[in-house]
Amino acid sequence: MPPSRSAAFRAWAKTQQPSDWFDGELDSATAIDLDPLRRFDLQATFLHRIRRRARILAQLRANLQRPVPGRQALEWRLWGLVGIRPLADRLVREVTNANSRTDEALLTLADFLIVLREVDYQPIDGALPKAQFKTIFSAFLKELANSLNPKIQENSNHISKDAMDFWERVLEQCRG
Amino acid sequence: MPRLSVYNPPTDLVLGTRLNASVPEADQIRQRAEVDEILRRLNNQPGVILADEVGMGKTFVALGIAHSVAIRSPHGPVIIMVPANLIDKWEQDLKKFCELYLANRHIVNRATATSSDLANQTVVRYGIARHSVDLMRLLDDPPRERCHFIFVAQGAMARSPTDKWIRLYLIAEALRRHGRGKANRLIQVKKRIHHFLAELLWAIGEERAHQWGEELWRALLQTDPTVWLSIYNKAAQDDRRLIDDPVPKHIIRAVGRIELAALAEALKKMPVRARGGNRRITERLNATREVLRKVERNLWKEVLTQTRWRSPLLIMDEAHHLKNPHTLLARQLQSPELEQDLRTGDGAMAQAFDRMLFLTATPFQLGHAELVRVLERFGDVNWDQMPSDGLEQFRIQLSDLAKHLDDSQRTAIALRRSWEKLRPEESSEDVDAWWARLRQSRREELSHHQAAAVDAYEAAKRCRDAAESELQPWIVRHNKGTYWADTDIPRRRRLDGATIAGQMQSGGLPIPPEQLLPFFLAARSAVDPGKDLLGEALCSSYEAFRRTRKESDASKDEQDEVVPADLSHSQWYLTEFDLALERCTGLAHPKIAATVRKVVDLWESGEKVLVFAFYRRTCRALRIHISQEIEQRVIAAGQHRLEMAGQNGSSNDVQRLIERIQQRYFDKAESAGRKALDRTLAEILMELSASIEEAQITEDQQQLLIEVMRRFLRVPTTLVRCFPITELDSIKPTEAIARTINFADGSGVTWRQKFGGFIDFLTKSCSSEERKETFIWTRLDQSRPAEFASKMRTRMPMSIPLVSLSPMCKLRLERPSAKLDLVSCGLLTRHFFPTFWFAAK
């Protein structure tokens, strides 16, 4: 059965369960964790959200710094389906669609740009030379910053002044 | 196990059998029952944890048990180990305990006792050992003079002895062993070293305590340390005389077993005449001191591993510190396994005690595993007097207990989970009736979730009962009631997270949008696992964050996975953070703002507030922000009162008004207002004259009490709320004073009642010793504020009501002694002290 139909079937089956149906979690034999600290979930807090994203961004930066065979490969990393540009667009959508956390979403986008700005390419023999990387990447970053800004400005009335000022300073750095 | 008669209360212990007015009767009766019960248990088992809630009199119960055992035991004194900063409190409590609960007994401190004191059969002798050598000296005494109790500072055994007498003995012994035969240089040193001994031993000035000068050193060097006491005392002035042998016998024996060749070698290089200038001499002295320190460390290891002493009972205060078996404190009780692992103090008290009594209001904090680890320390008692398989049986019991506690917790969590699964249609609003019905229903009548909940309940109950039955022999615990005595005021109300700010949502305080940027930047600059404390500090206050960032020696958070290095670019973020923070004051921090608001609201309604914070910087910030907020509210309250009376006034007007009241009613002794005030305060004392007379409070002391009460009324915070400020120019002084002291606060308590309660406490609940301290402190405050402040920080008597403090004084209790602060505040807030306390944990 193709995956999509399988998933649909599971979703339908769940709606058909009677109230006293076997409950996997209730009857599971999973050991109960007695460590009180582990049972105290902090993952949803602001601090932990920021930390999680920081780790993802660090990984992204590490990937960009890896040697790339040539111009085309670099462009794929930047513009490709799972590249930087689609990710940036997604982060912008988060800003424009955010209901109550617009500032946080903008700060995440700004953080994303800061991390990109600090990419330090590490070539090896046979890979794209550093100078070429810099030329392509700087142009990309400048263009990215310029193209994202109008969408942010459109939503600036939902964003605090401090966050907007911060965003402007980050843009300046990317353009420079 | 043979029945030991020492575990019976003696007849002179009248706790609970002869009731007094100082302590509520119910408390006295309960405390006596606890003494009897714990003694009964100690008859059959190695130890008990007394885990009563804070403020229920664990100290008195422990002293009752200590006295019962110490008075009859032939095996050395009872050792009471307490945190060093609580020794004074224990000493004071012991005095009060003897005054209240021991018939025909009086106590003497071994350090100040006269020979007739020591010979007296009715005295209870106690000693204080802040260092390991002090303890050795006290243990040395002959049984007739030996202490009944010894208070030992918890860190004492973990510190190497640095005692000049022991150093002198080491030098004397090294010279005796190696300074003979052909050792010409050392023989020369032996003849001349007394010129340099005072400096070498850091005992400059010692020779001025007697008439002998350097000759005393020579005399001591040539004799055995067992006669040093008499040699020194013959030469010493009265106030410098020793009361005990300066070198304990345990040390003398241990020195006989250690190698002193290295020290002798170092001594060879000592100067024999003052030549080569001061610098050269100092260099040589320093080199010898260094070797001396190493020899002392070896000596201490020898003392710990070889010395065997015995005590019938160890009482350990704040025993939850034992929850980690690897701490210095816990290692002192355990027999060291490997020589190379030995740290100073390890095994110092292993198997020295016949029984143990642990005191802690919080036997565990994070999980019952901590409790089991504390109980494991009972295994370190001396098992010689017990059945041969006693230790093995004890370990089996603890293992069973740990298993049952695990089962109990596991089934309780399972019950909670199955309960959460119940759907609204599977339950009912009348929960009790519904649950009773559910439990009686046949299984097939129940839904799957209902049956699971019933099963989980049965399992949880069964496991809890089993755990309780296993735990019961080891712990005695009493909790305070849900409500304050004789009131319907709940003792405890818990406000989690955002609820402190009056918000209904669960979870933490939201970060205001205008502060999201600094929070984001700070959090982003602190994502390294090694800097997790920065995140915690940020959540506490901006001030704590800044401070922690400066120190930046945070320990690693093991819960975070390893992340690539340099992911935070912290400097850029920190620069931006500082920029962002310039626009936010410390008061704007959501937690600080909510706390300040809550505290000042409570203050405004007349309540007393104690604030704990993890970070000292947060305490400091709170103190500043709360003070500022109060100042603003005082003015605002004054303006509001003027407005209500149809008068308008600026903040300056309010301040001037308060100053006028202070002059007319407080500062000018001959003014009508001041006279009316003093008359009224004297009347309050008069109403309680019987108690005052019984407590033998002198005329002078009564004047001090009036002075104290006056000071509480004089402050702007009292005047603006209680004094009829809008009628200052028209009201008669007697009427103004009557209205002020009869003004009821948010809890409905007037100043007259507070003053009455305070004097009642002072005369009936305080011991004579505590009263004496109180008046000393009152005078100290008046005449020498700097000395008072210094004493306040280092040694605060626990039970005195601190009458000398003005209500708005800024207390700085920022030291790591939560217990002390909490107990003090418990006493103070109950009685008189209407201000804020900040305690950094």
Q: What is the DSSP letter of B478?
A: -
User: Which residues 6+ apart lie within 8 Å of B726 measured at CB?
Assistant: B641, B642, B644, B645, B647
A61 to chain B: closest CA residue: B567
Smallest CA-to-CA distance from B341 within B304, B289, B287 is with: B304
Give the tokens for residue B185: 């240089």
Backbone angles phi, psi at B578, to 5 degrees: -60, -40
Residue B58 pLDDT exceeds 70:
yes
Whether residue B569 and residue A37 make contact (CB cut-off 8 A), yes or no, is no
Is residue B2 included in any domain, yes or no?
A: no
Q: A-chain residues within 8 Å CB-CB of B425?
A: 19
Round the CA-based radius of gyration of chain B to a whole number and report it: 32
Task: Say if B423 is an interface residue toward chain A (CB within 8 Å).
Answer: yes
Which of B420, B521, B569, B578 to mutate to test binding with chain A, by most A CBs within 10 Å of its CB?
Answer: B569
Kindly indicate the confidence band of residue B806, based on its pLDDT and cuts at 50, 70 and 90: very low
Average pLDDT value over all residues in chain B: 80
Kindly indicate the confidence band of residue B388, based on its pLDDT and cuts at 50, 70 and 90: confident
**How far is B475 from B707, CA to CA, in rounded Å?**
47
Residue A18 pLDDT exceeds 60:
no
Residue A131 pLDDT exceeds 90:
yes
Asked whether the beta carbons of B52 and B361 are under 8 A apart, the reply is: yes
Is residue B597 included in any domain, yes or no?
A: no
Q: Is B127 helix (H, G, I), strand (E, B) or coil?
A: strand
Is residue B481 included in any domain, yes or no?
A: no
**How far is B200 from B737, CA to CA, in rounded Å?**
66
Kindly indicate the confidence band of residue B626, based on its pLDDT and cuts at 50, 70 and 90: confident
| Residues, chain A | 176
Instruction: Say what the pLDDT of residue B277 is.
Output: 62
Instruction: Say what the pLDDT of residue B66 is.
Output: 96
Instruction: Say what the pLDDT of residue B543 is.
Output: 83
Q: Looking at the structure, do residues B427 and B539 belong to the same domain, yes or no?
A: no
Kindly indicate the confidence band of residue B352, based on its pLDDT and cuts at 50, 70 and 90: confident
Instruction: Say what the pLDDT of residue A88 is.
Output: 94
Asked whether the beta carbons of B374 and B358 are under 8 A apart, the reply is: yes
Is residue B487 included in any domain, yes or no?
A: no
Q: Looking at the structure, do residues B555 and B523 belong to the same domain, yes or no?
A: yes
Instruction: Say what the pLDDT of residue B828 is.
Output: 35
Which of B407, B413, B426, B520 to mutate to test binding with chain A, by most A CBs within 10 Å of its CB?
Answer: B520
Interval B689-701 mean pLDDT: 88
Element (H, E) at B837: strand B836-840
Whether residue A46 and residue B517 make contact (CB cut-off 8 A), yes or no, is no
Q: Domain residues for B547? A: 497-584
Select the more confidently predicted residue: B828 or A76. A76
Q: Is B129 helix (H, G, I), strand (E, B) or coil?
A: strand
Residue B1 pLDDT exceeds 70:
no
Other beta carbons within 10 Å of B439: 12
Select the more confidently predicted residue: A36 or B513. B513
Instruction: Say what the pLDDT of residue B833 is.
Output: 36
Instruction: Say what the pLDDT of residue B559 is.
Output: 34
Task: Say if B646 is an interface residue toward chain A (CB within 8 Å).
Answer: no
**How far is B66 from B317, CA to CA, in rounded Å?**
13
List pLDDT tens digits, range B471-522. 999 999 998 888 877 788 788 888 888 888 887 776 788 888 778 888 888 7
Asked whether the beta carbons of B317 and B80 are under 8 A apart, the reply is: yes
Q: Looking at the structure, do residues B202 and B270 belong to the same domain, yes or no?
A: yes
Q: Is B674 helix (H, G, I), strand (E, B) or coil?
A: helix
Q: How far is A86 from chain B (nearest CA, A)?
A: 22
**One-letter amino acid for residue B288 of the chain:** T
Kindly indicate the confidence band of residue B832, based on its pLDDT and cuts at 50, 70 and 90: very low
Asked whether the beta carbons of B1 and B390 are under 8 A apart, the reply is: yes
B584 to chain A: closest CA residue: A162
Instruction: Say what the pLDDT of residue B308 is.
Output: 75
First to last CA, chain A: 53
Q: Looking at the structure, do residues B527 and B466 belong to the same domain, yes or no?
A: no
Backbone angles phi, psi at B494, to 5 degrees: -100, 125
Asked whether the beta carbons of A162 and B583 are under 8 A apart, the reply is: yes
Residue B732 pLDDT exceeds 70:
yes
Which of B427, B517, B533, B589 to mutate to test binding with chain A, by most A CBs within 10 Å of its CB?
Answer: B517
Instruction: Say what the pLDDT of residue B254 is.
Output: 85
Instruction: Say what the pLDDT of residue B220 is.
Output: 84
**How far is B358 from B705, CA to CA, in rounded Å?**
39
CATH number at residue B151: 3.40.50.10810
Instruction: Say what the pLDDT of residue B491 is.
Output: 81
Instruction: Say what the pLDDT of residue B677 is.
Output: 95
User: Which residues 6+ apart lie within 8 Å of B738 measured at CB?
Assistant: B680
Residue B339 pLDDT exceeds 50:
no
Q: What is the DSSP letter of B813?
A: B
Q: Looking at the structure, do residues B316 and B173 belong to the same domain, yes or no?
A: no
Task: Say if A122 is an interface residue toward chain B (CB within 8 Å).
Answer: no
Q: How far is B449 from chain A (nearest CA, A)?
A: 7
User: Which residues 6+ apart lie within 8 Å of A65 measured at CB?
Assistant: A119, A120, A121, A122
Kindly indicate the confidence band of residue A42, based on its pLDDT and cuts at 50, 70 and 90: low
User: Which residues 6+ apart lie within 8 Å of B393 measured at CB?
Assistant: B387
Whether residue B447 and residue A160 make contact (CB cut-off 8 A), yes or no, is no
- Which positions 1-20 of A are in contact with B (Cβ < 8 Å)? 19-20
Q: Looking at the structure, do residues B261 and B367 belong to the same domain, yes or no?
A: no
Q: Is B677 helix (H, G, I), strand (E, B) or coil?
A: helix
Asked whether the beta carbons of B345 and B157 are under 8 A apart, the reply is: yes
**How far is A82 from A74, CA to CA, in rounded Å?**
12
Task: Say if B523 is an interface residue toward chain A (CB within 8 Å).
Answer: yes
Kindly indicate the confidence band of residue B340, based on its pLDDT and cuts at 50, 70 and 90: very low
Kindly indicate the confidence band of residue B149, based on its pLDDT and cuts at 50, 70 and 90: very high
Q: Looking at the structure, do residues B822 and B714 belong to the same domain, yes or no?
A: yes
Other beta carbons within 10 Å of B401: 21
Asked whether the beta carbons of B678 and B750 are under 8 A apart, the reply is: no
User: Which residues 6+ apart lie within 8 Å of B389 measured at CB?
Assistant: none
Q: Alpha carbon B606 to chain centroid distance? A: 28
Kindly indicate the confidence band of residue B116, based on its pLDDT and cuts at 50, 70 and 90: confident
Other beta carbons within 10 Å of A110: 26
Is residue B237 included in any domain, yes or no?
A: yes
Instruction: Say what the pLDDT of residue B826 is.
Output: 33
Is residue B811 included in any domain, yes or no?
A: yes
Q: Looking at the structure, do residues B333 and B246 belong to the same domain, yes or no?
A: no
Interval B703-731 mean pLDDT: 88
Q: Looking at the structure, do residues B302 and B314 belong to the same domain, yes or no?
A: no
Where is average pLDDT lowest: A17-31, B158-172, B524-538? A17-31
Give the tokens for residue A57: 């961004």
Q: A-chain residues within 8 Å CB-CB of B447?
A: 19-20
DSSP A92-127: HHHHHH-SS-HHHHHHHHHHHHHHHHT------TTS
**How far is B329 from B156, CA to CA, in rounded Å?**
10
Other beta carbons within 10 Å of B516: 22
Is residue B489 included in any domain, yes or no?
A: no
Q: Looking at the structure, do residues B508 and B537 belong to the same domain, yes or no?
A: yes
Select the more confidently predicted residue: B3 or B548. B548
Kindly indicate the confidence band of residue B810, based on its pLDDT and cuts at 50, 70 and 90: very low
Kindly indicate the confidence band of residue A5, based on its pLDDT and cuts at 50, 70 and 90: low
Select the more confidently predicted residue: A90 or A37. A90
User: Which residues 6+ apart lie within 8 Å of B797 measured at CB?
Assistant: B88, B89, B92, B770, B773, B777
Kindly indicate the confidence band of residue B838, based on its pLDDT and cuts at 50, 70 and 90: very low
Instruction: Say what the pLDDT of residue B31 is.
Output: 96
Task: Say if B416 is an interface residue toward chain A (CB within 8 Å).
Answer: no
Interval B688-700 mean pLDDT: 89
User: Which residues 6+ apart lie within 8 Å of B421 measured at CB?
Assistant: A23, A26, B449, B452, B453
Instruction: Say what the pLDDT of residue B822 is.
Output: 33
Asked whether the beta carbons of B254 and B306 are under 8 A apart, the reply is: yes
Q: A-chain residues within 8 Å CB-CB of B422?
A: none
Kindly indicate the confidence band of residue B203, based on its pLDDT and cuts at 50, 70 and 90: low
Task: Say if A22 is an interface residue toward chain B (CB within 8 Å).
Answer: yes
Kindly indicate the confidence band of residue B211, based on its pLDDT and cuts at 50, 70 and 90: low
Which residues are bridge partners to B613 per DSSP?
A: B840
Instruction: Say what the pLDDT of residue B468 is.
Output: 94
Kindly indicate the confidence band of residue B776, based on its pLDDT and cuts at 50, 70 and 90: low
Task: Say if A162 is an interface residue toward chain B (CB within 8 Å).
Answer: yes
Q: B-chain residues within 8 Å CB-CB of A115?
A: 569
Q: Looking at the structure, do residues B611 and B756 belong to the same domain, yes or no?
A: yes
Kindly indicate the confidence band of residue B563, based on its pLDDT and cuts at 50, 70 and 90: very low
Q: B-chain residues within 8 Å CB-CB of A106?
A: none
Instruction: Say what the pLDDT of residue B160 is.
Output: 63
Instruction: Point out the residue among B421, B527, B583 whose CB comes nearest to the CB of A26.
Output: B421
User: Which of these three, B354, B386, B418, is where a domain ends?
Assistant: B386
Element (H, E) at B313: strand B311-316
Kindly indicate the confidence band of residue B335, based on its pLDDT and cuts at 50, 70 and 90: low
List pLDDT tens digits, range B361-387. 988 877 888 899 999 999 989 888 777
Instruction: Say what the pLDDT of residue B314 is.
Output: 94
Instruction: Say what the pLDDT of residue B567 is.
Output: 41
Kindly indicate the confidence band of residue B787, based on its pLDDT and cuts at 50, 70 and 90: low
Instruction: Point out the residue among A19, A46, A54 whose CB comes nearest to the CB of B567.
Output: A54
Instruction: Say what the pLDDT of residue B569 is.
Output: 55
Interval B157-169 mean pLDDT: 77
pLDDT above 90 coverage of chain A, percent: 38
Q: CB-side exposure of A6: number of CA atoms within 13 Å? A: 3
Burial B107-134 (b: 16+ CB within 10 A, else e): bbebeebeeebbeeeebbbbbbbebbbb
Is residue B802 included in any domain, yes or no?
A: yes
Task: Name the domain count of chain B.
Answer: 5
pLDDT above 70 coverage of chain B, percent: 82
Q: CB-side exposure of B221: number of CA atoms within 13 Å? A: 23
Task: Say if B490 is an interface residue toward chain A (CB within 8 Å).
Answer: no
Q: Looking at the structure, do residues B407 and B302 belong to the same domain, yes or no?
A: no
Kindly indicate the confidence band of residue A39, based on its pLDDT and cuts at 50, 70 and 90: low
The dihedral sign for the CA sequence B730, B735, B740, B742:
negative
Burial B413-424 (b: 16+ CB within 10 A, else e): bbbebbeebeee
- Which positions 63-102 of A are in contact with B (Cβ < 8 Å)? none
Whether residue B413 and residue A22 make contact (CB cut-off 8 A), yes or no, is no
Where is average pLDDT lowest: A61-70, B116-125, B803-812? B803-812
